[in-house]
Structure 1
Amino acid sequence: MPRDFLIIGGGVVGMAVAYGLARRGRRVTVLDEHDGSLRASRGNAGLVWVQGKGLGMPRYAELSLQSSEAWPAFAEELTARTGVELEYERRGGVDLCFDAAEAEARQEEYCALYATTPALAAMRWAYLDREALREHLPGLGEAVHGGTFSPWDGQCNPLYLLRALYAACHSLGVDYRPASPVDGVEATASGFTAHTPKGDVAAPRVILAAGLGARRLAPPLGLCGEVHPLRGQILVTERLPQSGRLPSPQIRQTASGGYLIGDVLENAGFDTGVTLETLHQLGRRAVAVYPDLAKARLVRSWGALRVMTPDGSPVYEASRTCPGAYNLSCHSGITLAAFHAEELAEAIDSDCLASLYGDFSGARFDVQATG
């Protein structure tokens, strides 16, 4: 059956856009790699996070806030369609500060960012000292100075989100092809052809949602390949009784009771391993935040690679030289999933990506071929 769109990449970004296009009646094929491939969608902490996003690019902050507002309905719809509970909640979140200098710098950044545009005036946040935080983070340790609280922040189970997107796309007729890595994409007279070890796949329009694969696949189509890996490491504790503690980038308790301990940014190339030094640092900080975790058993750890652009903000772009080719590079795939499935999918479908989201083009990195 002829396809309208070919999406390269079956992570949260690619599947959210596939879902949005399929809901609009478009016929979509998704080409995905092997389970052993680099997958940010399966290695992240599951935060649906707004505060601090968009420093240096207020439009990114606006999209994060917009997506957070859309997430409750998005999660409800996915669960109703698939029966998969995403373990989504939005009770607010806290980004911790460990000394006065960090607290002062954070407040100055937020004040400047959220006064930038009228849309960001809706962003609610507050700095809370350690005593005030204990209402939201019972058992908080003395090593924490305070933190910024926002009611817009939340969390979900990222693996269940991905499962729900797969199931929803399947129910809508999306042709998902696993273990089909793309060697290259060629522009043809009738659209685009992706070359895979299993054969060629063609469609009139193509969307790159290939994560770090954009480095190789995007430039031949006149799109931006300026992405690099940034490693994170995570420690996981045994399942513990629910504490009611709000999530933070440093540590959050999952619906099953285990704590995810992370918030590491490492330039380690394409190495997805873990290091004892970093894991020790994470463990020490976790116990400083919540002293009661000193007796918790650690059950596993992992490393994963974020997909980072030079300025940390997303790339959404349409090719000038190969009309019908689009590129999506984003390390906030969980937070922006609701936006990707709705407004972004609509912009791509109507071929308005350049006019509506032109400030997210890779051209801002002096990549002249993009638009």
Structure 2
Amino acid sequence: MDSDFAIIGGGVVGLSVAWGLLKRGKRVLVLDGDDGSFRASRGNFGLVWVQSKGIKQPRYAAWSQQSATAWAGFADELADATGHDMSLEQTGGYDLHFSEETLKKTVAQYEELKAKLDGNYPYEVLDRKALLAEEPEIGPKVVGAILHHQDGHVNPLKLLRSLADDVRRLGGQVLSEKTVTDVRKSDVFTITCADGSHVQANKVILSAGLGAMELGPKLGFKAPIRPQRGQVLITEKLPKLINRPSLIARQVDEGGVQIGATNEEVGLNDGVTQSGLSGLASEAVAAYPVLADAQLVRVWGALRILSPDGLPIYQESPEMAGAFLVTCHSGITLAAAHARFLPDWLEGTNAAPDLEVFSEDRFIVS
């Protein structure tokens, strides 16, 4: 049986969209790659994060806020259906600062963004004394923090498992070891995989992360995305040390402290380096000196997906009507929006969110 939608890419982005479409009664097929595929969904930091996003594009801030607001209900519905607790905590997150100068500069940027959002940007500035009251283990080098109340974190692997399980429960097909090599369109789309198999669908969504670099142009997209490496460390399981996450460190639901991440332009190299890991460890110890005695149990590198301006790309192909590119850097943060609101855009309903600023028209590709 043909599908209404074939989704190329079985990570958090693709599965979130699949889940949302299935909830609307659509027939959905997800094609996931092999174990050699670069998988941001298995290597990310697990943040549901609003602050600092959209400084130069308020629509991105608003889109992130809309998703963050929908996250609790999204997580509850998945948990009720699958029995998996994704350990969502959404009591705010910190932007830690080691100098008064950077803190004041960031606050000024936030105030400008807040004005553009009609005041809807719930944050407060904590001086060192106020921060210590919230985080007793904070180090003496930290002068203060910005606490944004819409921020939080989640266990990304449990999210991925929950989405995959519920997509199948809802009647979706998820086919693994399917590397798509070509997509053609006549009356319907015919998708060819490297193993010689073919599937058909009325519409196609390309959400294959870095795989869109090669496949995107075949569907008429510019797909001007690139990889950026992030190295991450995780400690042994520890007693409760950190109450809220930051971009430097977060204590995960199982007790370990996750430290990261680097921002490296190294092509498709997802390895780790001594210099990168040492830099992360040094900053984490400066923020939380108690971590100096913690044992590291795991390190990894993963590749982010970035557009030239760092914003998501939502685009229907100008050459193949019914083919859509959905790609972003913040797949965890935007998972709720992709599940709850993006299906209206994909189907062109009256409730479709305005995503025009995220189209490929903003890029000039020579």
Q: Same fold (TM over 0.5)?
A: yes
**Letter matched to residue 49 of structure 1:** W
1:80 aligns with 2:80: yes
Give 3-state SS (helix, strand or coil) of 2:160's partner.
helix
| Contact 1:214–1:224 (Cα < 8 Å) also in 2 | no
What's the TM-score, normalizing by structure 1?
0.95
Query: Secondary structure at the residue paired with 1:183?
Result: strand
Q: Find the counterpart in structure 1 of residue 135 from structure 2.
A: 137
| 1:24-77, Cα deviation, whole Å (9 max, x unpaired) | 000011111112310001101100001111121111100111111100100000
> Would you say 1:51 and 2:51 are equivalent positions?
yes
The residue aligned with 1:237 is 235
Equivalent residues in 2 for 1:155-174, closer than 5 Å: 155-174=153-172
- 2:186 corresponding residue in structure 1: 189
Letter in 1 for 2:17: V
Residue 341 of structure 2 aligns to a residue in which SS?
Answer: helix
Local SS of the residue matching 1:114: helix
1:268 CA drift (Å): 1.0
Give the distance between the partners of 1:351 and 1:312, measured in 2 at CA.
27
- Tell me the residue number matched to 2:217: 219
Corresponding residue SS for 2:180:
coil
Shift of 1:243: 2.6
2:335 aligned to which of 313, 334, 337 = 337
Does 1:124 find its partner at 2:122? Answer: yes
Change (3 A) 1:269 1:351: farther
Aligned partner of 2:34 in structure 1 is 34
In structure 2, C-alpha distance between the alignment counterparts of 1:95 and 1:36, rounded to whole Å: 35
Displacement after TM superposition at 1:351 (Å): 6.4
Q: Give the TM-score normalised by structure 2.
A: 0.96
Distance 1:92 1:128 in 2: 13
Q: Match for 1:334: what amino acid?
A: I
**Do the aligned partners of residues 215 and 291 (structure 1) sit closer, same or farther apart at CA in structure 2, a change above 3 Å counting?**
same
Residue equivalent to 1:64? 64
Tell me, yes or no, if the aligned pair for 2:55 and 2:113 is still in contact at 8 Å: yes
CA contact under 8 A between 1:139 and 1:291: conserved in structure 2?
yes
In 2, are the aligned partners of 1:235 and 1:279 still within 8 Å (CA)? yes
- Cα deviations across residues 229-252 of structure 1 (Å, max 9, x unaligned)? 111010110000113521001100
Structure 2: give runs of 5+ residues left out of the alignment. none
Percent sequence identity over matched residues? 46
The equivalent residue for 2:104 is: 104
Q: Which 4+ runs in 1 deviate beyond 4 A?
A: 351-355
Indicate conservation of the 8 Å contact 2:137/2:242, yes or no. no
Give the count of matched residue pairs: 365
Report the secondary structure of 1:218's partner residue: helix
- State how far apart, in whole Å, the 2-side matches of 1:114 and 1:200 are: 49
- 2:173 matched to 1:175? yes
Q: Following TM superposition, by how much is the alpha carbon of 1:352 offset from its aligned partner in structure 2, in angstroms?
A: 7.3
Q: Could you say if the C-alpha distance between residues 355 and 219 of structure 1 is closer, same or farther in structure 2, counting changes exceeding 3 Å? A: farther
CA distance in 2 between partners of 1:293 and 1:355 (Å): 43
2:309 equivalent to 1:311: yes
Q: How many angstroms does 1:117 deviate by?
A: 3.1
